[in-house]
A and B are shown apart, each in its own frame.
Chain A
């Protein structure tokens, strides 16, 4: 990376590319969240269940995110977005199990990558609070990675910006 690139990066002229994995159980709202983060003219109207995986891109104030919307695991991720359906109390254990499997994966285990949790579907009547979700998922046991949990409503886009801002700060502090 040349001096000019660095300078442009510091000044925020050229946006850095970041690869992000978006994970979570089926029907938790991954595609909807990513869709909401895209510019309004690129947003899709109908969201259908994702088959296999899809790659989406969106930009924030200083970073350009490439998001792998999938329900598996990859190796090139620099951050993880983990989406939880907060109204599905029954499958919270399954989400915890999947999260534990993810955190114990050899490609993830020893890397200090930031994890952003979205306690999604906050608008539903029987939704759990983000504190309750973090308790049920035992997030306090994650000691070696920075993490943050946000309550969100992906349909309205509430809470998404706060989460992405945190993620952006984390990635920037890791770079410098």
Chain B
């Protein structure tokens, strides 16, 4: 009882930490946390919101910039963005950051909201066998069918996978092959990879306005670090699997760590001067969000849990969440020295976690798909969320808000205070116990006598049923059968369906017949005796017959069904069907 007012108080306290600055349910923003960032694009001290909008399916990919509550500019993107970061690429004044949008094998760099540079990932090496085969095709030495066979051979055996061109060729219908080969054979073969995630790494200073390198993870299981000005590859590291989420910390010239969550459900930690990951954290389910808090890694898993690890892979804690995680972000307030984790859940809530404890809960109107926390406009603690339906929610943390670090599970659980539903004892019960106490011996004897009689009666009836095969379940071990009958219809015609099933493990039953016994004055059937097909074990055989009611008096009777073996007169099974009263005649 007392828990209810506490809950109400809690929710009002937590909701009062945030001011609702803006809510636009039709902002048409479809994006994820990897494609949203805050940056001071014009160097005027006012941060803008930069969103790589994925659009609605195939088209409408846009780079949108918001200022305050309104859209400032829109650039069309050529391909689906996979990641978006803002970074300072040079020392020039004013210090306006560049926007890097990763899509496909390219990184598009925007400066001052104008296209500035396009970086293309280096191509991967092509299988020499594939190269040979295509060279032969170019010299018209082989026809498309042979080409297909040879490529299939290479695909099955070779270590280096085929290029996109060959894979596409293998998909084609025979009549399209000729033209495709003629079109493609002149161009050189290239094999390209695709960017899956992108991050930034400070080059040689830890300042906020220091120059940053781009760090990219690719589908070819590599991590590249790019020079910010020349866009040359500074470093290349390889991973055992395709990276999906990335967190980068440190400085390139001094020491850095790249934490990557991969598609195989593992987290790898890369360091300077090592081509291969040094530590590996194996998760029980796939990572959905990856956050670094100081020296620890917090991972939101697909199994509705959040786990924390040290950078050496030691597990610190696990929290069980009330709903699946949709995305995660870091809440960082350096001016107040406060760090927490924002977890968006599929039940339209965003929880703020300080270590294992929920310190605030935000209810949203829709499922949140992307979160970004930081300085927006001129306000430091701004929380920006976009929803599944394309809405934009902006909340501002109150300057007076305090997150008290109390444990969320305080006191006994509510279930403890619920009273059990124990039935009450009346006077009747007490009288009954008195009677039992006085006449215990006689009651016991009488009951034992009755029980023996009951057993006898039951055994007699059972034997009688077995002798005349009255049961719808056959008891014999050689032919285990099961039957039930269903009557459908209102009359005078009824549909009678018998469901027969052979319940043996692997022995079919043959040579069975069905016979009906009924009052010929009341009912008529087209065939009262027919054979049934071979019964395969496990399958249910519905056998339909039609029964016509002849009486117009509204009388019903029993129809008996017998399943018989050919050459034996005793039935295997019997079913009695209580026919319903025919309503059709009564009406006419």
Complex: A96 Cα to B396 Cα, angstroms: 12
With an 8 A cutoff between CB atoms, is B379 at the interface?
A: yes
Complex: A127 Cα to B70 Cα, angstroms: 12
Check A91 against B379 for contact (C-beta < 8 Å): yes
With an 8 A cutoff between CB atoms, is A14 at the interface?
A: no
Check B378 against A97 for contact (C-beta < 8 Å): no
Main secondary structure of the interface of B (DSSP, over half): strand
Complex: A25 Cα to B19 Cα, angstroms: 15
Complex: A60 Cα to B70 Cα, angstroms: 40
With an 8 A cutoff between CB atoms, is A144 at the interface?
A: no
Check A90 against B19 for contact (C-beta < 8 Å): no
With an 8 A cutoff between CB atoms, is B390 at the interface?
A: no
Check A89 against B378 for contact (C-beta < 8 Å): no
Minimum C-beta distance from A5 to chain B (A): 44
Check A89 against B19 for contact (C-beta < 8 Å): no
With an 8 A cutoff between CB atoms, is A88 at the interface?
A: yes
Nearest opposing residue in chain A for B400, CB measure: A101
Minimum C-beta distance from A47 to chain B (A): 14
Check B400 against A93 for contact (C-beta < 8 Å): no
Residues in A neighbouring B68, C-beta threshold 8 A: 87-90, 126
Number of A-B contacts (CB under 8 A): 42
With an 8 A cutoff between CB atoms, is A156 at the interface?
A: no
Complex: A44 Cα to B22 Cα, angstroms: 36
Residues in A23-65 with C-beta less than 8 Å from chain B: 25-27
Minimum C-beta distance from A29 to chain B (A): 13
Q: Given A97-B19, A126-B68, A126-B70, is A90 in contact with B379 using a C-beta cutoff of 8 Å? A: yes
With an 8 A cutoff between CB atoms, is B300 at the interface?
A: no
Nearest opposing residue in chain B for A126, CB measure: B70
Check A91 against B396 for contact (C-beta < 8 Å): yes
With an 8 A cutoff between CB atoms, is A13 at the interface?
A: no
With an 8 A cutoff between CB atoms, is A94 at the interface?
A: yes
Residues in A neighbouring B400, C-beta threshold 8 A: 101
Check B70 against A94 for contact (C-beta < 8 Å): no
Q: Given A26-B378, A94-B379, A126-B68, is A89 in contact with B22 using a C-beta cutoff of 8 Å? A: yes
With an 8 A cutoff between CB atoms, is B460 at the interface?
A: no
Complex: A91 Cα to B46 Cα, angstroms: 13
With an 8 A cutoff between CB atoms, is B377 at the interface?
A: yes
With an 8 A cutoff between CB atoms, is B344 at the interface?
A: no
Using an 8 Å CB-CB cutoff, how does the interface string of A1-27 with B read, 1 for contact, 0 for none?
Answer: 000000000000000000000000111
Complex: A27 Cα to B377 Cα, angstroms: 11
Which of B19, B376, B377, B378 is in CB contact (< 8 Å) with A93? B19
What size tier do the contact residues of chain A reach? 10 to 19
Q: Given A27-B378, A101-B400, is A91 in contact with B21 using a C-beta cutoff of 8 Å? A: yes
Which of A27, A87, A90, A126 is in CB contact (< 8 Å) with B21? A90
Q: Given A27-B378, A126-B68, A126-B70, is A90 in contact with B22 using a C-beta cutoff of 8 Å? A: yes
Check A91 against B20 for contact (C-beta < 8 Å): no
Residues in B neighbouring A91, C-beta threshold 8 A: 21, 377-379, 396
Complex: A90 Cα to B378 Cα, angstroms: 10
Residues in B469-483 with C-beta less than 8 Å from chain A: none
Residues in A neighbouring B22, C-beta threshold 8 A: 89-90
Check B377 against A88 for contact (C-beta < 8 Å): yes
Residues in B502-527 with C-beta less than 8 Å from chain A: none
Using an 8 Å CB-CB cutoff, how does the interface string of A82-105 with B read, 1 for contact, 0 for none?
Answer: 000001111111101110010000
Complex: A97 Cα to B394 Cα, angstroms: 16
Minimum C-beta distance from A136 to chain B (A): 11
Complex: A43 Cα to B21 Cα, angstroms: 35
With an 8 A cutoff between CB atoms, is B312 at the interface?
A: no
Check A89 against B396 for contact (C-beta < 8 Å): no
Residues in A neighbouring B379, C-beta threshold 8 A: 90-91, 94
With an 8 A cutoff between CB atoms, is B398 at the interface?
A: yes
Minimum C-beta distance from A98 to chain B (A): 8
Minimum C-beta distance from B395 to chain A (A): 9
Minimum C-beta distance from B400 to chain A (A): 7
**Interface pairs (5), CB distance under 8 Å:** A90-B376, A94-B21, A94-B379, A97-B399, A126-B68
Further contacts, 16 of them, CB under 8 A, given A90-B394, A91-B379? A25-B378, A26-B378, A87-B68, A89-B22, A89-B68, A90-B376, A90-B396, A91-B378, A93-B19, A93-B20, A93-B396, A94-B396, A94-B399, A96-B19, A97-B19, A98-B399
